[in-house]
Structure 1
Amino acid sequence: MKELKIMGLTLPVYFALLAVIIVAIFLNVLPGGMIGAFAFMMIVGALLDVVGNNTPIVKTFFGGGPIVIIFGSAALVYFNILPEVVTKNVDTFMKGGGFLDFYIAALITGSILGMNKKLLIKAAIRYFPCILGGLLVAMGLVSIGGLAFGYTPAEAIAYIGIPIMGGGMGAGAVPIADVFSKGLGLPTEQILSRLVPAVALGNAIAIVFGGILDRVGKKYPKLSGNGKLMEIGQDELKEKVDNEPFALSDFGIGIAIATTFFTFGNIVAFVMKNYVGIDIHSYAWMIISVAIAKAINILPTKYEKSCAKWYQFVASNWTPALLMGIGIAYTDLGQVISAFTPSYLILCFLVVLGAVLGTALVGKLVGFYPIEAAITAGLCMANMGGTGDVAVLTAANRMELMPFAQISSRLGGAFIIFFASIIVPIFFG
């Protein structure tokens, strides 16, 4: 216990900070806006992280800290332990304040620009077959399982398989519900109420699978690249050691470039939707633009490294805070509990299992490590988009795979919406 530190702080110092936060909440004087939200999320999130990472079974099989942070913070809201004013402030900070976008912008930009260029190009060509393989196996398993529990294959695919593989809520379940509504002539809200539990449960199962796959990779090292997606055989693809001196101004460069790439993604998404008729999430366009910038060397190497350093700072210091925000603002524990019947849970499990098996198999065939392929092209299709990507990659200890996770959540999610628009008239017309 003497050696244990939380947030890099000794226990007396950390608990002094925690005491201040608790007293401020009790007296209803916790600052609003970013200060109060950041203080609460960082300090309490760090404690839940330590609890999860040091709890037997949880730390070994269920992802440790990340799953405890998310569902622990969701429980604080569900059981009304957390005052409503704090909940609303965190919700506003995560959504209206854009903390989630700010975090993911740093991760996408820094992780892509920090990658080996040749590796990025070689991996991207092989990535989409993995997504398709996972989708086909997932839909096949849930169809077969659905028959055992009174679902038709079409119902199992439409109401369980598609929403889980659809890229989350805002970019997944909501537009998918609209597609179904127009095809079936039912209110969108009625359909959405059937999709949301699948999204929530699929996300929870995907997080658990992230921790399990990390453990499988450690037990069977040949299946894992330890955070590297592609099996590298050529010396020229190996990363070079960065010995350049670090300057605090590098963080400023990283912030400026990351937020500008995010803004550029919004511009492209607007133009493509309103003038070309292609509606794809801005994250996808951001990923494409950063990848192109990396591939054709638009930015000097120094700026690429500045973005990579900023991403490393964000990931190492703010991940527990972000997961705390995900639990409070995006995870409805009530929806998860209400849908928690054995048959429904099994069907959701089959979808995620199919995504893992299909992507691992195809990934091996195209030259990826099966564990990394299953995590990115499989689990990051089955979770709740950007929030789920962070949780799954953290549980799997592979945050450096964020670029590929975002390809799954955004481009893969867009493909699922297209897929849903095709199957509605075929199966329900």
Structure 2
Amino acid sequence: MKATVHEPQGNIEGLKERWWRVFDVRIGALPLPVYLLLIVVLALMSAHGKLSADLPTGIALVAVGGFTCAELAKRIPWIRHVGATSIFAAFIPSMLIYYKLMPEPVTKAVTTFTKQSNFLYLFIAAIIVGSVLSMDRQTLVKGFVRIFIPVASGSIAAAVVGTAVGTLLGLDLKHALFMVVVPIMAGGVGEGALPLSAGYAQILGVEQGPIFAQVLSAVMLGNIAAICCAGLLSYLGTRRPRLTGNGRLTIAEGGDEVTGSEHASFEFDVNSVAAAGATAIALYLVGMLSHQYFDWPAPVVMLVLVVAAQFFQIVSPRVRGGARFMYGFFSTAVTYPLMFAISVAMTPWGEIVASFHWVNIVTAVSTVLTLVGTGFVVARWTGMYPVEAAIVNATHSGLGGTGDVAILTAANRMELMPFAQIATRIGGAITVMAALAVFAWLR
């Protein structure tokens, strides 16, 4: 009798437990039932022409798209070790648009949402502030001082090797250097390809458009090669643990750049996370103001300010704990949706296809491999982990801020974003200025 009485209750509890197990299956950060529900709802909205670009709909679209791309890549053997999740999220949506395989309402809504919200810079601000405020002060300073050595030596070696390879394959020496090798290390599109092509056009007295197309294709190839290198470096770190700090750049006893004993004392609550977010936004706006008044790069200004705040201990431990949580949330839940959004709104697949000539590919790959390999070799001499130093060097050949996100995601080392910004922004600016000076002299 007793077993009969409790059997319905037991069945209900069993069903509930099974349902909860299903609910805990994740596609990215999305529970499986929520993921399926969002697909159905968004498909119906798109079919009825009611797909808007407001904040909730935009978040749902990029979340479903980004996590779907990443999940597909994770299930493909072999290539998942070369940054396939980043490559899929960063380029597959652009390809689908180019071949008209993505529904027009989805493309329009995602593009409008991405450009109006500008959440790429919110992501970069949260990652930089969160990762810097989570670092040990001495490790932070040590890393910033030392990272210039592998970046500078890698840039010189890559320029020599990449130009030599391109020349041997039949390219004109000046074309190989200035149209393929230099653009790869110029810091992306806005800070690299655009000013570089404008400078070339002014020096030559020609239109900028055709030159920009050539430069942009090299940037795209370098970015893809860097993502693959980052994925391989991450895989190497799992097979050879002594070569990696798992996100730590410098080799040191005690302390940790993102995890460690110091963080055990961090106490924070929801208000602390909100305070950390407000701090990140405030520093970003100061950077934007400096750009408006003095034309200084906003991310670099923001980076300098947060490093100074950490070094002089301006931010309280509680808010630093909130910043660490903020960093974890953005790196886990926002990365792939962001890459999907950037791919839809800002990545020209046609330019990528146009650059797929084997000579350009080999030249670009040799440039990136030299840059990465030099960082790997030089790292030990400067007290850095080879894998981490090589990954930072890889970001020097990336597509600006979006490239940094893709490369560090492929490497599973988002903690390195502050150092990546140094390599991308400052390294790119120096590359552009030096290249234009030499190009004008040779002209």
Q: 1:41 to 1:145 in 2, by over 3 A?
A: same
The residue that corresponds to 2:12 in the other structure is none
Give the drift of 1:226.
Answer: 1.2
1:323-379 superposed Cα distances (whole Å, 9 cap, x missing partner): 111221222222111211111110110111111012222222111111111111x11
SS in 2 for 1:94: helix
Contact 2:226–2:407, Cα closer than 8 Å, also in 1: yes
**Could you tell me how far apart the structure 1 residues matched to 2:368 and 2:269 are?**
43
Q: Distance in 1 between matches of 2:322 and 2:127?
A: 12
With over 3 angstroms needed to count, the CA separation of the structure-2 counterparts of 1:395 and 1:96, relative to structure 1, is same
1:18-29 matches, cutoff 5 A: 18-29=39-50
Distance 2:415 2:338 in 1: 16
1:424 aligns with 2:439: yes
The change in CA–CA distance for 1:139 and 1:8 in structure 2 (over 3 A counts) is: closer
Cα distance in 2 for residues equivalent to 1:262 and 1:394 = 22
What's 1:229 paired with? 249
Cα deviations across residues 184-229 of structure 1 (Å, max 9, x unaligned)?
2221112111101101111111111111111112222222111111
Deviation at 1:64, TM superposition (A): 3.3
The Cα offsets for residues 72-95 of structure 1, whole Å up to 9 and x where unpaired, read as 211221111223343233223323
Pairwise mapping of residues 72-91 of structure 1 onto structure 2 (< 5 A)?
72-91=92-111
**Per-residue Cα deviation, 1:219-265 (whole angstroms, up to 9, x for no partner):** 22222111111111356986424254442222311221111000111
Structure-to-structure mapping, 1:90-101, within 5 angstroms: 90-101=110-121
**Corresponding residue for residue 47 of structure 1:** 68
Q: 1:270 to 1:91 in 2, by over 3 A?
A: same
Which residue does the alignment assign to 2:335? 319
Amino acid at match of 1:203: N
State which of 196, 213, 221 in structure 2 corresponds to 1:176. Answer: 196
Corresponding residue number in structure 2 for 1:103: 123
CA distance in 1, matches of 2:209, 2:79: 36
CA shift, 1:34, in A, is 2.1
Residues 44 and 300 (structure 1), Cα distance of their counterparts in 2 relative to 1, 3 Å cut = same
Distance 2:106 2:36 in 1: 20
Contact 2:53 2:110 in 1 (8 A): no
Give the letter for the 1:260 counterpart: A
Is 2:210 the counterpart of 1:190?
yes
* Bigger shift: residues 38-47 or 395-404: 38-47
Matches within 5 A, 1:19-418: 19-60=40-81, 62-233=82-253, 239-273=261-295, 280-376=296-392, 378-418=393-433
1:344–1:235 distance in 2 versus 1, CA, 3 Å = closer
Rg bigger for which structure?
Answer: 2
Are the equivalent residues in 1 in contact too, given 2:266–2:321 (CA < 8 A)? no
Q: Under a length normalisation based on structure 1, what TM-score does the superposition of the two structures give?
A: 0.93
Distance in 1, matches of 2:348 and 2:109, equals: 17
Rounded Cα–Cα distance in structure 2 between residues aligned with 1:106 and 1:9 = 21
Cα offset for 1:9? 4.7
Alignment match, 1:276: none
Distance 1:310 1:5 in 2: 21
Q: Report the Cα offset of residue 380 of structure 1.
A: 0.6
Give the distance between the partners of 1:315 and 1:65, measured in 2 at CA. 14
User: In structure 2, how many angstroms separate the alpha carbons of the residues matched to 1:43 and 1:344?
Assistant: 34
Question: 2:339 & 2:406 partners in 1: Cα distance?
Answer: 7
Query: Aligned residues: percent identity?
Result: 30
Compared CA separation, residues 129 and 305, structure 1 to 2 (3 A): same
Q: Secondary structure at the match of 1:368?
A: coil
SS at match of 1:95: helix
**8 Å contact kept, 1:54–1:64:** no
Q: Separation in 1 of the partners of 2:402 and 2:390?
A: 18
The unaligned stretches of length 5 or more in structure 1 are: 274-279
Structure 2 residue matching 1:231: 3-state secondary structure: coil
Deviations 1:267-309 (A, max 9, x none): 2233333xxxxxx411111111111111111222222222222
1:291–1:22 CA distance, 2 compared to 1 (3 A) = same
Cα distance in 2, alignment partners of residues 414 and 254 from structure 1: 29
Counterpart of 2:283 in 1: which secondary structure?
helix
Two-structure CA RMSD over aligned residues (Å): 1.9
Contact persistence 1:250–1:310 (CA under 8 A): no
**In terms of mean alpha carbon deviation, does 303-312 or 407-416 score higher?**
303-312
Call closer, same or farther: CA 1:32–1:306 in 2, change over 3 Å: same
User: In the alignment, is the contact (CA less than 8 A) between 2:73 and 2:80 conserved in 1?
Assistant: yes
Aligned residue pairs total 420
